[in-house]
Amino acid sequence: MAMWNPWRGCHKYSEGCKFCYIHKGDYKRNIDTNTIVKTDKFTAPIDKNKKGEYKIKSGQVVYLCFSSDFLLPDADVWRADCWQMIKERQDLHFIFLTKRIERFLDCLPEDWGDGYDNVTVGCTIENQEMADLRLSIFSILPIKHKNVICQPLIEQVNIEKYLNDVELVVAGGESDYRARPLNYDWVLSLKSQCVNRNTHFQFRQCGTYFIKDGKEYKIGVQQLCSQAKKAGIDC
């Protein structure tokens, strides 16, 4: 696994951005998240060592743009270079998440066709309104590998009709002392929708406030993922 953040910074875009970890981290370090800047890792996938070998070794999954949104308008001038690097590294698999899936077709390289084999796109939704808006677009886009990321999930959602060609649905809660609670019933509902559509499902993290059987629990940040895993409901 490798990380590639060609630029950093982002603008809050919808309800799911309320407690964005990038904004929170930047606030502590006195960095303006709304200023979008290229990083010194911009060319990371094609950087080589003294022996002329790629520094990012072959066969890895590369998490792309996890300190921004890959489809951010501010980055339009840089994205074509990223597609070139993604194309050069057919031996890597790239995954990015976005809340701006409506921009997807305007952000593609000319030879995209029905998708690059080595790219997974994760469409992020947080509530039914964003599910209907974004997944109705996502479900008809030419993408070889599709994930739906329901994190932070802030209400019950029905996405079953949008799961054509989706490989994986991820559910997770919000992490913050002011976070909106995650109800376990919403997670179980998503899982059963995935089972109905033969789609993989992963419960990735609880919320800071987690409701199960009508009782609310407060969960420390270090336990959010391990507690979700303990539920044992991935499929």
| Site residues (vs ligand SF4, CB under 6 A) | 10, 12-13, 17, 20, 22, 68-69, 99
C-alpha to C-alpha distance for 43 and 123, rounded to whole angstroms: 25
DSSP string, 66-89: TTS-TT-GGGHHHHHHHHHHHHH-
Residue with tokens 């997807």: 104
Q: Is the peptide bond before 6 cis (omega within 30 degrees of 0)?
A: no
Q: State which residue, 64 or 194, has the beta carbon closest to ligand SF4.
A: 64
Q: How far is the CB of 134 from ligand SF4 (least distance, A)?
A: 12
Quote the tokens at residue 130: 């964003």
Q: How far is the CB of 13 from ligand SF4 (least distance, A)?
A: 5
Q: State which residue, 96 or 184, has the beta carbon closest to ligand SF4.
A: 96
Residues 6 or more apart in contact with residue 137 via CB below 8 angstroms: 101, 102, 104
Q: State which residue, 20 or 108, has the beta carbon closest to ligand SF4.
A: 20
Q: How far is the CB of 186 from ligand SF4 (least distance, A)?
A: 19
C-alpha to C-alpha distance for 190 and 155, rounded to whole angstroms: 11
Coil, strand or helix at 138: helix
Q: State which residue, 124 or 183, has the beta carbon closest to ligand SF4.
A: 124
Q: How far is the CB of 198 from ligand SF4 (least distance, A)?
A: 29
Q: State which residue, 98 or 193, has the beta carbon closest to ligand SF4.
A: 98
Of the candidates 213, 217, 157, the residue with the CA atom closest to the CA atom of residue 181: 217
C-alpha to C-alpha distance for 17 and 13, rounded to whole angstroms: 6
Q: State which residue, 9 or 184, has the beta carbon closest to ligand SF4.
A: 9
Coil, strand or helix at 33: coil
Q: How far is the CB of 51 from ligand SF4 (least distance, A)?
A: 36
Q: State which residue, 97 or 194, has the beta carbon closest to ligand SF4.
A: 97
Q: How far is the CB of 57 from ligand SF4 (least distance, A)?
A: 27
Residue with tokens 């743009």: 65
* Cβ–Cβ < 8 Å for 177, 208: yes
If one counts every other C-beta atom within 10 angstroms of the C-beta of residue 94, the result is 25
Q: How far is the CB of 202 from ligand SF4 (least distance, A)?
A: 19
